[in-house]
Amino acid sequence: MQNSASAQQIEQDVLAAMSRPSRCYLACILLAGLLFLGGMALWGRQIALGMGVAGISHPVGWGVYITDFVFWVGIAHSGTLISAVLYIFRARFRTSFNRAAEAMTLFALMVAGLFPLIHLGRVWLAYFLFPYPNQRQLWVNFRSPLVWDVFAVSTYMLVSLVFFYIGLLPDLAIVARRRPGPVGKIYRLLTLGWVGSSQQWRHYAKLYFLLAAFATPLVASVHSIVSWDFAVSIVPGWHTTIFAPYFVAGAILSGTAMVITLVIPMRRLLRLEAYIPVTHIEAIAKILLLTSLIVSFAYIVEQGLAFYSGNLFEMEQFRFRALGDYRLLFWIMISCNSLLPMTLFVGRLRRNLAYLFVLSLLVNVGMWLERFVIVVTSLARDFDPYAWGNYTPSLTEIGITAGSFGLFFLLFLLFIKVLPVLSITELKER
């Protein structure tokens, strides 16, 4: 019973975040909302006028939209990693992040899911991409990785949502208990009749573990399939077997970076320093360092393969990446994803939150650029030299990308006011 006082304290501290919003918070919501609306307006304009408002062209048929898609799917990755994989491995520092990471996963997936639609030339026919029964007997092409994408992303979305929700049930009951009035009733409804009996807890633990086990292979599968969007093609720079592990590592790198980006300010603003100790953040930073090393290895392998292949198309492609028109982006990418994270070998820097925050932002930039470099440079220099051509994003594409960040932060800001940002029950267990 000596824990009950501190349990009360935990409940109070965590739920304090859900109190009446401050002006600063409202301003942030407004900003994010405006960005999102601006992005949607630009999308509307694109639907009305045609894809010509984007900078994509011939031969570069995919640009910022696909970059954004892969970027957001990547961000969505570490939620499952931190929640499910670390849960199975019983890594205790997980509790500091898992709720935020899971929420991030969901929101990033929502944002990511928009981009395949945004990039479609005829989005009003997007339902063609689903295998639905119809009298015209039209079917989707299961040889196309784009169809695999539809399944991979929707499966991941579904599992992540269930996992998030199940994990949330006991906490929802706490919120419902502490909130009187109609709001509490809504929370009560959402608990699906959770009373916290030992039988419920037993079932809960089993289900949660099962879901964690179920979600774990998805960490590998989703981004592997996303990488096959590229690897299955014949485009030099895309068509390579290392893409699946390379993309998964990259996804975890960008996901952990995004977790750091979100958690450090959240910890400070919501005064959760006691519950998210620096050592836990340091553990995440180590994952970041590890995945950064894997990604760097992939960079070296890629260039090496091209160099040794004797394949003119591959060689020109990788020469172009490093020395061609987009070389600046390539070298920023190398700096952000490979060189800067190496500094995390130094323990003091790993524990310096300000440094980690800046680094995580830079890794996010680097990972976005990585996808941009892969998508764009490969298309810009493929087989027929006559058809070579460069790509510059248009304002529409930049605006919609900004809008996607707006949507993401909007959802995240709403999340921290509506749901407990840390797993109260797990904190109590700790």
Exactly one of 138, 183, 205, 346 binds another protein (CB under 8 A); which one? Answer: 138
- With H, G, I as helix, E, B as strand and everything else as coil, classify residue 9: helix
Residue 22 CA: distances (Å) to CA of 14, 136, 413, 414: 16, 56, 12, 13
As a 3-state breakdown, the chain gives helix, strand, coil percent values, each rounded to 5, of 80, 0, 20
DSSP 8-state code for residue 274: T
Is 147 a binding residue for another protein by CB under 8 A? The answer is: yes
Binding mask 315-334 for another protein (x = CB under 8 A): -x------------------
In the complex, minimum distance from the CB of residue 53 to another protein, in angstroms, rounded to a whole number: 9
Contact set for another protein, span 213-272 (CB under 8 A): 232-235
Is 395 a binding residue for another protein by CB under 8 A? The answer is: no
In the complex, minimum distance from the CB of residue 236 to another protein, in angstroms, rounded to a whole number: 9
In the complex, minimum distance from the CB of residue 306 to another protein, in angstroms, rounded to a whole number: 15
In the complex, minimum distance from the CB of residue 72 to another protein, in angstroms, rounded to a whole number: 18
Nearer to another protein, 44 or 277 (CB): 44
Exactly one of 387, 395, 418, 430 binds another protein (CB under 8 A); which one? Answer: 387
Enter the tokens of residue 43: 């999308």
Enter the tokens of residue 170: 């006991």
In the complex, minimum distance from the CB of residue 151 to another protein, in angstroms, rounded to a whole number: 11
In the complex, minimum distance from the CB of residue 191 to another protein, in angstroms, rounded to a whole number: 40
Residue at token pair 């998210």: 276
Exactly one of 208, 313, 355, 405 binds another protein (CB under 8 A); which one? Answer: 313
- For another protein, how many residues bind (rule: CB under 8 A)? 47
Contact set for another protein, span 78-117 (CB under 8 A): none
Q: How many CA atoms lie within 13 A of 31 on its CB side?
A: 10
Contact set for another protein, span 47-76 (CB under 8 A): 49-52, 55-62
| Rounded (5°) CA angle 416-417-422 | 40
Burial 178-216 (b: 16+ CB within 10 A, else e): ebeeeeeeebbebbeebeeeeeeeeebeeebeebbeebb
- Angle, in degrees to the nearest 10, between helices 198-231 and 64-75: 150
Is 398 a binding residue for another protein by CB under 8 A? The answer is: no
How distant is the alpha carbon of residue 212 from its chain centre?
18
Residues in contact with another protein by the rule CB under 8 A: 49-52, 55-62, 119-123, 125-126, 128-129, 138-141, 143-147, 150, 232-235, 312-313, 316, 379, 382-389
